[in-house]
Amino acid sequence: MQTLLARYDNLAAWLASRWPEGLALLLSRLALAGVFWRSGRTKVAEGTLLTIGEQARFLFEYEYTRVPLPPAIAAPLTTYAEHLFPILLVLGLFTRISALALLAMTLVIQVFVYPEAWWQTHMAWVAMAAVLVSRGGGPLAADVLLARARAGW
In order, the DSSP letters of 23-64 are HHHHHHHHHHHHHHHHHHHHTBPTT-SSPBPHHHHHIIIII-
Strand partners, 82: none
Q: Is the pLDDT of residue 91 over 80?
A: yes
pLDDT tens digits along 37-81: 999 999 999 999 999 999 999 999 999 999 999 999 999 999 999
Of 49-58, 119-128, 144-153, give the lowest mean pLDDT range: 144-153
If you average pLDDT over residues 102-123, what whole number do you get?
97
Query: How far apart (Å, rounded) are the C-alpha atoms in residues 16 and 45?
Result: 43
Pair 112, 67: CB distance under 8 Å? yes
Angle at 137 between CA 134 and CA 138, to 5 degrees: 100
What residue type is 50 in one-letter code? L
Predicted TM-score of the model (pTM): 0.92
Task: Please report, as a single letter, which amino acid is at residue 117.
Answer: A
Q: How far is CA 28 from CA 90, 108, 122, 123, 145, in A?
A: 10, 21, 14, 14, 19
Domain ranges in the chain?
A: 22-151
Q: What is the tens place of the pLDDT at every residue in 28-48?
A: 999 999 999 999 999 999 999
pLDDT-derived band at 99 (thresholds 50, 70, 90) equals very high
Residue 118's contacts (CB-CB under 8 Å, 6 or more residues apart) are 110
**Confidence at 11, pLDDT banded by 50, 70, 90:** very high
Q: What percent of the chain has pLDDT over 90?
A: 95
Res 118 pLDDT > 90:
yes
